[in-house]
Amino acid sequence: MVLGWRGILREFADHLPLTKDTPLLTLNEGNTPLIEATKLSGMLGEGVRLFLKYEGLNPSGSFKDRGMVLAVAKAVEEGARKVVCASTGNTSASAAAYAARAGLDCLVLIPHGKVALGKLAQAIMYGARVIAVEGNFDQALAIVQEMSMRQQDIILVNSVNPYRLEGQKTAAYEVCRDLGKAPDFLAIPVGNAGNISAYWKGFCEVYESNPSLSRPRMLGFQAAGAAPLVTGQTVDKPETVATAIRIGCPVNREKAIMAVQQSGGIFESVTDREILQAYWLLAEKEGVFAEPASSAAVAGVLKLARSGYFPPGSTIVSVLTGNGLKDPDTAMFKGAKPMILPASLDAIEEALHGELVGV
C-alpha cells in the first residue's frame, strides 16, 4: 500500500467518469502547491491576497497532466493503439509521457519553430513521433481532428476530448481544499480555453456539494496578439512570446464564455511586455519560475489591480500553468549573462567591486 498522494484517478475517483475497466494510470500528477505570493499581494490593493497554483510541478511540468492521465487511460480502456494531438508544446509533452507510461504510440503535430525548446525535448525523450508543420496551432489541430475522425483506433487527446476537461477540473477541488473555501477570483491564462472551462466545472461541482463555499469570478487572460475571446474575433495569425497560448481560434470558446459570464468575470488581454514583466517579477520577488503563458494571468491581475478592480480583502488564485524551465530561450532573453572569470577569489572579488558584504 502507498500512503502518499496516489494521482488524479485514484484521489478523485468519485468525481471522474471511471469504470471498472479504466486502468488506474498515474505518474502521481496533481496535488500541486498553492503558494502565497506575499510580495505581489502588496501590489494589488488593501488586504488583497494572491495565491499561485503552481501547476508547473506536475510530472511533465504543466497542468496538462491532470487531463491527459484520464484521456490516455480512457484511450486504453477503449482499446486504442495510438493517441494524437496538436500542441503548442505542453500537450505534446504530456501526451507523450502518458502514452509511454501506458504503452501506446503517440503522434504530435507542433507549429514549426514556435514550441519552447524544453517541451520539444520532452516529446522526443518520451518517444513520441513529432512532426513540425509549417503552419500555426489552429491548422495543426484541424489536421489531427480529421485524422482521428477517419481512423477509429487513433484517439485525439486535445482538449476537445471531454476527458481532458474532466481531469483538469480536479485543480479547482485542490484550490478549495487548500484555502478552505473558494477564492473570490480565479485568474488563468487562456489559449484553447479548455482549462478555464475545466476550473469552472470543478468550482461548480464543489459548490453544488457545499453551497457555503461560493464560486469565484473567472478572469481569463489572453496575449494581446492572440486574444480572440477579448476582441470577439478569430485571429488568423496569432503572435505572442507566450507560445503556449498562441491560439487564434479556441475550440472551447463557448464553454469559456459561459464560465466567464456565469461567474461575473471578464476576459482581458495583456501585452507581451506586461507578460515578460510579470514573468520576471514572479521569479525575482517570489522565487517562482513559471513559463511566459502562465505569467500572462499574473500580468492580468497586476493590470486589473492598477485600475482598482479588486475589492479590499479579496482572495485571488492565479494558475501558473507551466514550469519556467521549459522555455530556456525566453528566460535567457532577460539579458543577464554569467560573468566568465578565472577560478581565483581575487579575480572574483575585484569584479564584484565590493558588492559582497564583508569583503
Residues that bind ligand PLP in the complex, under the rule CB under 6 A: 62, 64, 90, 159, 189-195, 244-245, 291, 293-294, 321-322
Nearer to ligand PLP, 45 or 324 (CB): 324
* CB nearer to ligand PLP: pick between 64 and 215: 64
- How many residues are given for the chain? 359
In which region does residue 265 sit, left (phi positive, over 0), alpha (psi from -120 to 50) or beta (all else)? beta
Instruction: Give the residue with the Cβ less far from ligand PLP, 25 or 320.
Output: 320
Contacts of 322 (CB under 8 A, 6+ apart): 55, 56, 61, 62, 63, 90, 244, 290, 291, 293, 294
Q: Which is nearer to ligand PLP, 84 or 245 (CB)?
A: 245
Residue number closest to ligand PLP, CB atom: 322
Q: How far is the CB of 221 from ligand PLP (least distance, A)?
A: 10
CB of 302 to ligand PLP, least distance (A): 17
Quote the least distance from Cβ 232 to ligand PLP, whole Å.
17
C-alpha cell at 197: 472551462
Rounded Cα gap, residues 154 and 81, in angstroms: 7
CA distance 199 to 197: 6
Q: Which residues contact 124 (CB under 8 A, 6 or more apart)?
A: 130
Residue placing its CB nearer to ligand PLP in the complex, 116 or 304 = 116
| 194 vs 248, beta carbon nearer ligand PLP | 194
Nine-digit cell string for 152:
477509429
DSSP string, 53-84: EEGGGSTTSBTHHHHHHHHHHHHHHTT-SEEE
- DSSP β-ladder status, 34-36 and 105-111: unpaired
- Compute the distance between CA of residue 138 and CA of residue 173 in angstroms, rounded to an integer: 30
Do the Cβ atoms of 335 and 75 come closer than 8 Å? Answer: no
Closer CB to ligand PLP, 66 or 74, in the complex: 66
Question: CA 85, CA 141: separation in Å to the nearest integer?
Answer: 7
At closest approach, how far in Å is the CB of 312 from ligand PLP? 30
**Neighbouring residues of 75: CB distance < 8 A, sequence distance ≥ 6:** 83, 102, 104, 155, 157
Distance CA 163, CA 194 (A): 11
Distance of closest approach, residue 195 Cβ to ligand PLP, in angstroms: 3
Q: Among residues 45 and 292, whose Cβ is nearest to ligand PLP?
A: 292
* Closest CB to ligand PLP among residues 48, 276: 276
Shortest distance, position 137 Cβ to ligand PLP, whole Å: 9
- Could you tell me the smallest distance in angstroms from the CB atom of residue 277 to ligand PLP? 17
Q: Where are the strands (E) in the chain, listed by range?
A: 34-36, 49-54, 82-86, 105-111, 129-133, 154-156, 185-189, 217-223, 266-270, 315-320
Q: Smallest gap, in angstroms, from Cβ of residue 248 to ligand PLP?
A: 12
Shortest distance, CB of residue 180 to ligand PLP, whole angstroms? 27
Identify whether the C-beta of residue 119 lies closer than 8 Å to the C-beta of residue 326: yes
